[in-house]
Amino acid sequence: MNVRWSYMMFVLALGTLSVGCPADEKPPAPVHVPAMPPPVRRAQLKGLQGDVKVKRAAGDEWLPAQEGMALFENDKVRTVAGAGAQIVFANGSVVSLGDDALIGIAETRPRPGQERTDLTVLRGRVDAELEDPAKQSLSVTTPAATVRAGREIVFQ
Amino acid sequence: MKGSFLLAMLMLAPAEAEVRDRARAQSVLETARNAVKHADAKAARREEAAAKLKEAEAHFQSARYEEAAQAADGAWKLLSTSAASQPTAFTVAVDDKGSTTVTSHSGQPVRVDAEGVTRSVGPNTSMRVTKGQPPPEPKPLLSVPLPTQPSDKLKLSVQPAKGGLGPITLAWKAVEGAESYEVELVPVRGEKRVLTATTAQLKVALPAGAYRWSVRALAREARGEASPEHGFEVAEAPAKSIKLEVQSTKWK
């Protein structure tokens, strides 16, 4: 109940501030919009075999993958028949990508004390391994289901 | 207008936080329930974890969601200590229709969520989730069939038959729970063939040449791993010599 009352007071105070602005006030000076933060590196490509390609979140072109290439949120990785790759996440979890596969590096939502890695598999097969499932977690989303491994949540 | 917007915010925002906390507690509780359910009855801290889970359920019933989540996480932690000593390994495979096969190989069970239903997939079990359907019960993994005939790298001399030489018999050890088998036959020159058998053997006529083959067990919602590849060679047996005996004749 206390939370609700303090929230009500806060919202009412905001409303009062807004109502109090006179209509003939000069327009405010242009606000400086900070630049978008640089994308955060989520994983790294390793053990490339055959034809593996990467599409950046902001690009339309499939680029040839390179050993050690950094992967960012919403990047996509594609393998053709006979190809394969390993995706090593920052928290140490490793996903092996089979041939003829298409995956996306999904946005991650870190929680206190836990790094959470999310992966979208649109086609093909991935083999995942969590070395320390008490501290790591991996969430794999497909068109049919979401698969979660490791710890659900970690409290401080 | 502004007033009604403020009123709506006043009413909604704390309720949203409560819904979020409830959902989080529910998710952690589900994980803990699965961990207790699948824990070995003789596991050292199972009783303690079960008591902790009971405590979490009570908190949840009283809408103390934060406490419920913490207690449920505690129960999970108690049971995960031993399972966590080995890595959690699992496979996710998506076919062209988006159906997903989840296979757990080792470590802790993985959780599969679809259409609002969560199920746990423990080590050496597998489930296939059809797009738009809730996850079914997981099934034990089908073991890998062991090829027995022809022995690896054998050279076979066979007579011509309809469709090639043979028939050649490919055989393997039957797998418990298998409803059929899928044989992949790859000629050194030519295209791969995928054949189906309902018993633990397959007779096939083949053109002369070298082949590699493997077999996997299939069930309604499970597809086992393929066996290691074996190889064999097929050649046409030389024609049998015919002994002709011509006797002397009285004709002159």
Q: Do A149 and B96 touch (CB under 8 A)?
A: no
> For A144, which of B6, B80, B100 is closest by C-beta distance?
B100
Give the model's pLDDT for residue B134: 96
Give B129 to chain A, closest Cα distance, Å: 6
Q: What is the mean pLDDT of residues A36-64?
A: 89
Note the ipTM here: 0.72
Backbone φ and ψ for B134, nearest 5 degrees, come out as: -70, 160
More confident residue, B203 or B16: B203
With tokens 């791969």, the residue in question is B192
Give tens-digit pLDDT for A59-98: 899 999 999 999 998 899 999 998 999 999 887 888 999 9
More confident residue, B5 or B54: B54
- Which residues of chain A are within 8 Å of residue B98 when distances are taken between CB atoms? 142-144
Q: Across-strand partners of B102?
A: B92, B127
Tokens of A95: 């996903």
Phi-psi region of B250 (alpha: psi -120 to 50; beta: other; left: phi over 0): alpha
DSSP-assigned letter for residue A116: E
Q: Do B100 and A143 touch (CB under 8 A)?
A: yes
Q: Across-strand partners of A128?
A: A95, B90
- Which residues of chain A are within 8 Å of residue B14 when distances are taken between CB atoms? 3-4, 7
Tokens of B190: 């030519």
pLDDT exceeds 90 at position A20: no
- Packing angle, helices B46-61 and B65-83, rounded to 10: 160
B117 touches chain A (CB under 8 A): no
Q: Is the Cβ–Cβ distance between B8 and B28 less than 8 Å?
A: no
Task: Quote the Cα angle for B225-B228-B234, to 5°.
Answer: 125
Kindly list the distances between the CA atom of residue B225 and the CA atoms of B141, B190, B215, B219, in Å, as whole numbers in the listed order.
9, 24, 8, 12
Give the model's pLDDT for residue B36: 81
Give tens-digit pLDDT for A87-111: 998 878 889 999 999 999 986 555 4
Tokens of A104: 């996306």
Give B114 to chain A, closest Cα distance, Å: 5
Query: Position B49: which residue type?
Result: A
Q: Do B31 and A142 touch (CB under 8 A)?
A: no
Tokens of A127: 């083999």
Predicted structure pTM score: 0.62
User: How many CB atoms within 10 Å of residue A28?
Assistant: 6
pLDDT exceeds 80 at position B146: yes
Question: Any residues with CB less than 8 A from the CB of A24 and at least 6 apart, and which?
Answer: none
> What is the signed CA dihedral for B23, B27, B32, B34, rounded to 10 degrees?
130
Residues 44-103 of B with CB under 8 A from A: 69-70, 73, 76-77, 80-81, 83-84, 87-96, 98-100, 102
Query: Position B136: which residue type?
Result: P
| Residue A75: burial class (beta carbons within 10 Å; 0-12, 13-18, 19+) | buried
Give the model's pLDDT for residue A113: 44
> For A11, which of B10, B70, B89 is closest by C-beta distance?
B10
